[in-house]
């Protein structure tokens, strides 16, 4: 099976994280306030110094192996150059492991902060959308109430107009010398 690289155009691109690649650059991430300079320095101090120490042992070990081989003055067993070579391989392995760990932890920190920022941004947008939807619903409800109140006002005006007409009509039916009896509070028709 051939080792394929997954790109954004490949069918397996759903496995790629959805973020801009420039955020993985530490200076850009610091500028975007995804991480602080102190966090970056702390990771660098923790891992890169260990890698530098491991890589720093390679050159002296090579020089020691060359000195033993070239001088011929030291009669060491045959396995001592192999032990030094093994030591060099271990130093390279430890150094590479520490650099890899540094890059992995740095990327994990940046991406997790970016995801948290995107989640907060989406939550703010959802809250704004919900507020907008609530405002629209309130506006529609207020409009419906205003229309209902306007309809009731029209009905009241129409009822008052009809009552005025009725009173005029009742006044025409009575002889001119009679006035309609006024009702006082507490007096009721006994009909």
Sketch the domain layout of the chain as residue ranges.
18-130
pLDDT of 2: 46
What is the C-alpha separation between 92 and 71, in angstroms, rounded?
A: 26
The enclosing H or E element of 162 equals helix 79-173
- Nearest residue to 98 (alpha-carbon basis) of 38, 57, 152, 37: 57
d(CA 142, CA 127): 22
Give the closest residue to 109 by CA, choosing from 19, 29, 22.
Answer: 29
Separation of alpha carbons 164 and 185, rounded Å: 21
pLDDT of amino acid 1: 41
Note down pLDDT in tens along the chain; length 191 residues.
444 544 555 555 454 456 677 888 888 888 888 889 899 989 888 888 888 888 898 888 888 878 877 777 667 777 877 888 899 899 999 999 999 999 889 988 888 888 888 888 888 887 777 777 777 878 888 888 888 888 888 888 888 888 888 887 776 665 555 555 555 555 555 54
**pLDDT for 35-68, tens place per residue?**
898 999 898 888 888 888 888 988 888 888 788 7
The pLDDT value recorded for residue 167 is 80
């Amino acid at each position: 099976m051939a080792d394929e690289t997954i790109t954004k155009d490949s069918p397996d691109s759903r496995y790629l994280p959805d973020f801009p690649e420039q955020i993985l650059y530490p200076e850009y991430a610091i500028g975007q306030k995804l991480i602080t300079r102190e966090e970056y320095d702390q990771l660098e101090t923790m891992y890169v110094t260990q890698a530098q120490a491991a890589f720093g042992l390679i050159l002296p070990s090579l020089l020691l192996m060359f000195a033993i081989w070239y001088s011929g003055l030291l009669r060491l067993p045959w396995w001592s150059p192999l032990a030094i070579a093994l030591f060099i391989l271990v130093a390279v392995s430890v150094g590479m492991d520490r650099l890899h760990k540094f890059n992995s932890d740095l990327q994990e920190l940046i991406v997790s902060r970016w995801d948290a920022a995107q989640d907060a941004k989406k939550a703010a947008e959802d809250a704004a959308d919900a507020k907008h939807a609530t405002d629209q619903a309130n506006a529609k409800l207020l409009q419906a109430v205003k229309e209902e109140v306007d309809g009731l006002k029209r009905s009241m005006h129409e009822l008052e107009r009809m009552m005025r007409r009725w009173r005029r009509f009742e006044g025409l039916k009575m002889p001119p010398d009679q006035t309609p009896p006024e009702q006082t509070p507490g007096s009721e028709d006994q009909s």
